[in-house]
Amino acid sequence: MYVLGCIDRRVTIYSQQVRGLNLAAALVAGEQVSVDDDVVVVGAGAAGLTCAAGLRRLGAKVTVLEKNSTILSLFRLGSQRWLHPGVYDWPLDGWNRDRAGLPVLDWEHGQVNSVLRQLEDAWEQEGDGANLCFDVGLIGIGDAGEQPRRVTWETGTARTRTVILAVGFGLEPTPLADERSYWEADSFDYDRKDGPQRWLVSGCGDGALTDLFRLCIQDFRHDRVLLDFTEDQRMGELREQIRQIEANASIQRDPAKLHDAYEHLNAPWVVEAMQQRARSHNVTLVAPTADFLNAQASPLNRFLAGQLFRARRFRFLQDRLKSVDRANGKVVVRFKNSAVQHFDRIQRRHGPESALASGFPAIAEAVEKDRRDRQVRPTLTDQTRDRFWVAGAFGEPRTPGGVAAARAAAARTSPRREQRPNAGAFQPDSANHIAGSTQLDRDAAAAFVDDPNLARVEDELGGVRIRPSRPASPDAEGSQFESASRNESQGQTLLASTLIVVIVGCLVLLIVIWSL
Ligand SMILES: Cc1cc2nc3c(=O)[nH]c(=O)nc-3n(C[C@H](O)[C@H](O)[C@H](O)COP(=O)(O)OP(=O)(O)OC[C@H]3O[C@@H](n4cnc5c(N)ncnc54)[C@H](O)[C@@H]3O)c2cc1C
């Protein structure tokens, strides 16, 4: 069973798609999925569909189970946000490529609606033959001891050796009527006729900072702002500084150091541009920690928030929300440590309610430790966006060689890491990581039976145990693919022996014929 990224932070649609394809290629390379094997994918978001499309190309039979009545339901909530495949890669080179460049379900940057259309069209071609089940209700996943496992939902059952949970991250709660979850349509970009408003934005992750920028900067769009503000010639040195901050393990481990490092970055031309494009709202950002430029957000957003703070476009308050009510048209906010304040609007960005925990609570608990470990991973050296399949691994099956050719290419899948700054300093922690997923595996748990946490997991899951990350080793990323290369060399040995036997046989036959 695989959990596709749902426990990670700072994930993007693109990185989830890459994980889906890494996993599909790795399953084939590791011979866990063969032609016509059944695979169940839970969740028809970008990750689930991309993984399913990849597996289809490699000849697997795929059933996709979706709790809603459409694919890509998150993108249908009306958001006018702009999606870009590379914007969160900044300041790495190549961030500004316009296309995701994926072998399946590829897309070009655009508003959510446009990306939705592109993915729908691509799925229409790729998903042909996949068994797509909507409104599935509660899903039951059988004991790992019973192979293939039984997967049941309200209207069907399947038997499979491979279940992939691609249930995403869930939606944020929106307790007030005019609060919106990140993917819902909102009116942040428009100024009301009755003038500037007093806003409170709560949180310091990417969601909170993006809304902060939208409220403080006219016509804010990540990709445009990057081109306008940061592609300046003077930016070269700062980009290098940011790469070094991201590569420095001691800074990464300490939120105060990370905050200080970003706070000290000085780009007066960005500050000036932000002041020129300032909106007139009065905005407060509240977070429980003084180090609000921390690892919860991407380097890009940390950098922009630091410059926006220098431009004095928002006020920062270190505190926690105690209660939020509406009275006389105002939002009344009680804080834990400071006095009550009144705002016109509030937007809480405290993260979504976990889709994994609500659909599969025991599995969510099983991967909880893994989830906590992932909160502190540096961003630019994070490998989950790296592609580990070889070119052609998902080659068009209808071209000469068909599925067999695609599978042969996928079996050659090897770690092909893009050059990231400090790639050496970041240690890949397991083959599971390479696939961007967490594997739950009964057999592999044997070594960890003494862990009380695991014993509890076993009780609840009826035999399924978690396989914790393997110790880091610089070569760990190769292990997923070891069996593929071993098989390849075994195949070559077998071919050579067969040839020798045939040649010797022919010689003996010739000698016998000649002697007769
Ligand atoms: C606040 C916030 C801001 C973000 N901003 C950006 C951004 O600017 N750019 C960007 O690229 N990414 C952004 N992301 C990340 C982006 O939302 C995810 O990377 C992307 O949606 C992941 O795709 P997915 O397929 O894994 O999950 P989803 O798109 O959530 O798809 C999961 C699917 O699984 C289904 N599902 C859930 N539970 C079950 C169940 N129990 N049974 C069956 N089906 C189920 C859901 O209905 C859904 O269709 C943001 C995320 C958040 C939370």
Cβ atoms of 434 and 383 within 8 Å: the answer is: yes
Do 128 and 270 fall into the same domain?
A: no
Lowest mean pLDDT among 134-148, 273-287, 408-422, 488-502: 408-422
Q: Which atom of ligand 1 approaches the CA of 358 most closely? A: 41
Does 188 fall in a domain? no
Do 206 and 334 fall into the same domain?
A: yes
- Residue 506 is part of which domain span? 471-516
Read off the pLDDT band of 205 (50, 70, 90): very high
Decide whether any atom of ligand 1 lies within 6 Å of the 55 Cβ. no
Which has more confidence, 101 or 514?
Answer: 101
Q: How large a percentage of the chain has pLDDT more than 90?
A: 47
Predicted pLDDT of residue 422: 29
Which has more confidence, 23 or 469?
Answer: 23
Decide whether any atom of ligand 1 lies within 6 Å of the 13 Cβ. yes
Q: What is the mean pLDDT of the chain?
A: 79
Does 271 fall in a domain? yes
Domain limit, last residue, from 379, 403, 431? 431
Predicted pLDDT of residue 61: 96
Ligand 1 atom 42: the closest Cα is on which residue? 67
3-class secondary structure, 74: helix
Q: What is the CATH number of the domain that holds 11?
A: 3.50.50.60
Mean pLDDT of 24-50: 92
Does 457 fall in a domain? no
pTM for the whole structure: 0.80
Number of Cβ within 10 Å of residue 55's Cβ equals 28
Ligand 1: centre distance to CA 450 (Å): 35
Predicted pLDDT of residue 145: 78
Predicted pLDDT of residue 93: 83
Residue 188: HSE in the Cβ half-sphere, 13 Å Cα cutoff:
30
Predicted pLDDT of residue 443: 33
Cα 440 from Cα 454, distance rounded (Å): 11
Containing 102, the helix (H) or strand (E) segment is none
Mutate to test the pocket of ligand 1, among 2, 3, 6, 13 (most ligand atoms within 8 A of CB): 13
Ligand 1: centre distance to CA 221 (Å): 21
Which has more confidence, 206 or 461?
Answer: 206
Ligand 1: centre distance to CA 292 (Å): 24
Do 426 and 511 fall into the same domain?
A: no
Read off the pLDDT band of 445 (50, 70, 90): very low
Sheet of 315-318, strands arranged across: 315-318, 282-287, 198-202, 345-348
Domain limit, last residue, from 313, 348, 383? 348
Decide whether any atom of ligand 1 lies within 6 Å of the 255 Cβ. no
Do 358 and 343 fall into the same domain?
A: no
Does 215 fall in a domain? yes
Above 70 in pLDDT, residue 77? yes
Q: Which atom of ligand 1 approaches the CA of 182 most closely? A: 1
CA dihedral sign, ordered 406, 412, 415, 418: negative
pLDDT in tens, 232-255: 788 889 999 999 998 888 898 899
Above 80 in pLDDT, residue 514? no
Do 147 and 202 fall into the same domain?
A: no
Above 60 in pLDDT, residue 130? yes
Above 50 in pLDDT, residue 452? no
Mean pLDDT of 30-59: 94
Q: Which atom of ligand 1 approaches the CA of 50 most closely? A: 25
Decide whether any atom of ligand 1 lies within 6 Å of the 207 Cβ. yes
Does 393 fall in a domain? yes
Decide whether any atom of ligand 1 lies within 6 Å of the 44 Cβ. yes
Predicted pLDDT of residue 73: 96
Mean pLDDT of 284-304: 94
Do 22 and 126 fall into the same domain?
A: yes
Q: What is the CATH number of the domain that holds 289?
A: 3.50.50
Decide whether any atom of ligand 1 lies within 6 Å of the 151 Cβ. no
Mean pLDDT of 164-171: 92
Does 273 fall in a domain? yes
Predicted pLDDT of residue 228: 79
3-class secondary structure, 439: strand
Identify which of 174-178, 314-318, 358-362, 392-396 has the greatest average pLDDT: 314-318
Q: Which atom of ligand 1 approaches the CA of 168 most closely? A: 27
Read off the pLDDT band of 477 (50, 70, 90): very low
Q: How large a percentage of the chain has pLDDT more than 70?
A: 76
Read off the pLDDT band of 57 (50, 70, 90): very high
CA dihedral sign, ordered 88, 91, 92, 98: positive
Predicted pLDDT of residue 410: 64
Above 50 in pLDDT, residue 487? no
Do 419 and 387 fall into the same domain?
A: yes
Mean pLDDT of 503-516: 73
Predicted pLDDT of residue 46: 97
Mutate to test the pocket of ligand 1, among 66, 172, 180, 353 (most ligand atoms within 8 A of CB): 66
Do 241 and 341 fall into the same domain?
A: yes
Above 80 in pLDDT, residue 414? no
Decide whether any atom of ligand 1 lies within 6 Å of the 92 Cβ. no
Which has more confidence, 73 or 95?
Answer: 73
Read off the pLDDT band of 393 (50, 70, 90): confident
Composition of the chain by helix, strand, coil, percent to 5: 40, 15, 45
Decide whether any atom of ligand 1 lies within 6 Å of the 75 Cβ. no
Lowest mean pLDDT among 148-162, 227-241, 282-296, 444-458: 444-458
The CA-based diameter of the chain, rounded to the nearest angstrom, is 113
Ligand 1 atom 7: the closest Cα is on which residue? 12
Do 18 and 131 fall into the same domain?
A: yes
Burial of 164 (0-12, 13-18, 19+ CB in 10 A): buried
Do 378 and 401 fall into the same domain?
A: yes
Do 308 and 367 fall into the same domain?
A: no
Ligand 1: centre distance to CA 419 (Å): 27
Above 70 in pLDDT, residue 396? no
Read off the pLDDT band of 501 (50, 70, 90): low
All residues at 6 or more sequence positions from 499 whose CB lies less than 8 Å from its CB, including other chains? none
Lowest mean pLDDT among 193-197, 226-230, 237-241, 493-497: 493-497
Does 361 fall in a domain? yes
Q: Which atom of ligand 1 approaches the CA of 356 most closely? A: 38
Above 50 in pLDDT, residue 449? no
Predicted pLDDT of residue 192: 73
Number of domains in the chain: 3
Domain limit, last residue, from 330, 348, 366? 348
Mean pLDDT of 341-347: 96
Predicted pLDDT of residue 416: 37
- In the 8-state DSSP scheme, what is residue 231? S
Do 109 and 136 fall into the same domain?
A: yes
Number of Cβ within 10 Å of residue 389's Cβ equals 23
3-class secondary structure, 67: coil
Above 60 in pLDDT, residue 494? no
Does 177 fall in a domain? no
Lowest mean pLDDT among 123-127, 184-188, 233-237, 379-383: 379-383
